[in-house]
Structure 1
Amino acid sequence: MPEVPDMRELGREVSNWGRWGSEDERGTTNLLTPERVAAAAGLVRTGEVFTLGIPLDGDGPQPGGLRINPIRLMSENGQEQVLPGGFKWADDFVFMPLQAGSQYDSLAHVHYDDHLYNGHPGDGVTVKGADKCGIHTQAGGIAGRGVLLDIARARGVDWLEAGAAIGPDELDEVAAAQGVQIGAGDILLFRTGWRKKFLTERDPNSFMAGEPGLSLSCAKWLREKDIAVVGSDNWAVEVMPGEHPGAAFELHMVLIRDMGVTLAEMLDFEDLSQACAADGRWDFLYAGPPLRFTRGVGSPINPMAIR
């Protein structure tokens, strides 16, 4: 594993501030151009659709406290309705953190040294939400060429252990072994098996106590590859505990605040990985729009991989 770089120095080196203009709030999703989306549509051969979102219910991975699993309540069930013609109807509503399950981090989710991505003021995130870089700025859609790197399969394990760091060399090695090229504007998904761990153990506390994930040293690799979005089956993309004692979520700070990368977390790659391994095709059309929460710092998602 290469030496872990200094977070702030690394952030300056890989920064995308100003790349798409001084007022930009979308970051690397600007790389999802119409031409690239059209090319990704050409990857659809069989029409198989794989949902990558986890169920939104009380059996999710949240242990409670800061975040809880969704609570759904019925406001109408039709049982006491007396309407013409026997018509009956039902409605429900939900109470949940926007980051309870499969979700995107907006570019307002993380900041440091008083600034969000692209130099927007950090104090613009208030009790009213984010006045810059909110998830609504991504509502035009997040779609393009998705690539799955199955790290757990490459290591020959059901899931990596908590604290296992994935470095850039391993990303290259797994891509080469799978016979897939990583290109500019790709939506990079990597499987650690952490979703399988949760499905096997059903232990939210163990799931959230730590995780395998990307090393801070991957930031430069992601910048050089010009990755548009990064997603994983764990809850924070990066390895936890972090690699520098006394520091936390350093890769979040570099990717979101400095590079402007939207992160997708707690995805389910179990069925998709089986299909990709069966026919050796590890790229596909990815379609995963966020919900249009004005000024939101995150959004639930149910993205699809279409092959």
Structure 2
Amino acid sequence: MEGKTVPHVRELLENSPKNWGKWGPNDEVGSLNYLTSVEILRGVACVKQGKTFTLQVRLGDPDGDPIWPGRQQAKRINIMDKGHYLCGKGPHYPGQYESADDVIFMNLQGSTQYDALGHVWYDDQIWNGYNANTTIGGMTKASVLPIGERGVVGRGILIDMARHRGKDVLEPGETFTHLDLLAAAHRQGVTIEKRDILLIRTGWIGSYYKLGAEAFYKEFKEPGLTYSPELVTWFQEMEIPNLVTDTMANEVTIDPVSGVELPLHNALMRNLGIALTEIAMLDPLADDCAADHQWTFLYTAAPLKIVGGSGAPVNPVVIK
């Protein structure tokens, strides 16, 4: 991209479709509206074995957590434990029991998390056309709170791009498109259906725990989806409510063609209202799906109800 003029994201997405107003002028959950009771029951019908998987990465690991470069690691601090009693400073309760308590300080997007639909914008408008001034001092429109209050339940489908390409983990900066997703689904023997919650495994987050933080962040360049008008149209026509990946951005950071940073955040989330879930741990689920050949399941999630939050931690639960 050296020497090339990078266009404004507005120019790149000039003809990109929008769902603004589709669910009314006050909507704050966007494409999650696609997840009706019919879609929930379609997900329930995928429960065949009673297996459960949780998709959140560990939080507050002493060895560090996988987070977006530049964000601070979570800090968990004991404010009450046995030590307080040993030095005579523990509280006295009727019955003489003892207790432990702690606090955590963290970036709200410093773990497996949902983005608020108003998290990213351009031209001073966030999802549904709300003015970007509504983000000042805390989001009063399209925050993560309405997503947390609504919850996310539907038929999930896992597409294992790493396994499709014969790798444990995709290479730094390795890209794929919706056509690659369809090819991987065909090889897995499944069909991505309308209104599926789409989970994509690259192996990236799992590699953090295998490589260690120093090697993981060296020359950091995530793999992921790349922008094209055709890809955005596909997401629109498929009515995808939620994109979940084991990367930190759900897309390559810099579009290799235009040089625009995070164009899919704007095309899919800002314009179409698709919920983005990032930093999911998908390796155990993928291994099990490869073993039993069941790639669809009931997906359930509810981010923390953070008032005004631009994102919130979540521990999605998958049931097969």
When normalised by structure 1's length, the TM-score is 0.93
Cα deviations across residues 192-222 of structure 1 (Å, max 9, x unaligned)? Answer: 1102221111126734821110111222221
Deviates more, 1:145-154 or 1:12-21: 12-21
Aligned match of 1:240: 253
Asked if structure 1 preserves the Cα contact closer than 8 Å seen for 2:74 and 2:106, the reply is yes
Distance of aligned partners of 1:236 and 1:45 in 2 relative to their CA distance in 1, 3 Å threshold: same
The separation in 1 between residues aligned to 2:266 and 2:167, in whole angstroms, is 30
One-letter identity of the residue aligned with 2:27: D
User: Larger Cα Rg: Structure 1 or Structure 2?
Assistant: 2
Secondary structure of the corresponding residue to residue 123 of structure 1: helix
The gaps in structure 2 that reach 5 residues or longer are: 1-6
Asked if structure 1 preserves the Cα contact closer than 8 Å seen for 2:46 and 2:298, the reply is yes
Deviation at 1:245, TM superposition (A): 5.0
Asked if structure 1 preserves the Cα contact closer than 8 Å seen for 2:56 and 2:281, the reply is yes
Aligned match of 2:150: 140
**RMSD between aligned alpha carbons?**
1.9
Asked if structure 2 preserves the Cα contact closer than 8 Å seen for 1:12 and 1:258, the reply is no
Deviation at 1:14, TM superposition (A): 2.2
Secondary structure of the corresponding residue to residue 195 of structure 1: helix
Cα deviations across residues 43-100 of structure 1 (Å, max 9, x unaligned)? Answer: 11111110110000142023764x1121111122252333332211221111000000
The separation in 1 between residues aligned to 2:143 and 2:224, in whole angstroms, is 25
Secondary structure of the corresponding residue to residue 23 of structure 1: coil
Aligned match of 1:201: 211
Of the three residues 277, 302, 311, the one matched with 1:289 is 302
Cα deviations across residues 3-53 of structure 1 (Å, max 9, x unaligned)? Answer: xx9954546432111111122111100011112112211211111110110
Of the three residues 52, 56, 77, the one matched with 1:73 is 77
Deviation at 1:161, TM superposition (A): 1.1
Aligned match of 1:61: 66
One-letter identity of the residue aligned with 1:149: I
1:83-98 alignment runs, 5 A limit: 83-98=93-108
The separation in 2 between residues aligned to 1:10 and 1:245, in whole angstroms, is 11
Aligned match of 1:109: 119
Deviates more, 1:37-46 or 1:6-15: 6-15
Secondary structure of the corresponding residue to residue 189 of structure 1: strand
Of the three residues 209, 225, 229, the one matched with 1:214 is 225
Count of residue pairs brought into register by the alignment = 301
Secondary structure of the corresponding residue to residue 145 of structure 1: strand
Asked if structure 1 preserves the Cα contact closer than 8 Å seen for 2:157 and 2:197, the reply is yes
Asked if structure 2 preserves the Cα contact closer than 8 Å seen for 1:211 and 1:241, the reply is no
Distance of aligned partners of 1:216 and 1:150 in 2 relative to their CA distance in 1, 3 Å threshold: same
One-letter identity of the residue aligned with 1:210: K
Percentage identity across paired residues of the two chains: 37
Aligned match of 2:26: 23
Of the three residues 162, 171, 183, the one matched with 1:173 is 183
Q: Confirm or deny that 1:100 pairs with 2:118.
A: no
The separation in 2 between residues aligned to 1:134 and 1:70, in whole angstroms, is 22
The separation in 2 between residues aligned to 1:243 and 1:259, in whole angstroms, is 22
Secondary structure of the corresponding residue to residue 157 of structure 2: strand
Deviates more, 1:274-283 or 1:180-189: 180-189
Aligned match of 2:4: none
Secondary structure of the corresponding residue to residue 95 of structure 2: helix
Deviation at 1:246, TM superposition (A): 4.2
The separation in 1 between residues aligned to 2:28 and 2:121, in whole angstroms, is 13
The gaps in structure 1 that reach 5 residues or longer are: none
Aligned match of 1:149: 159
Of the three residues 43, 46, 51, the one matched with 1:43 is 46
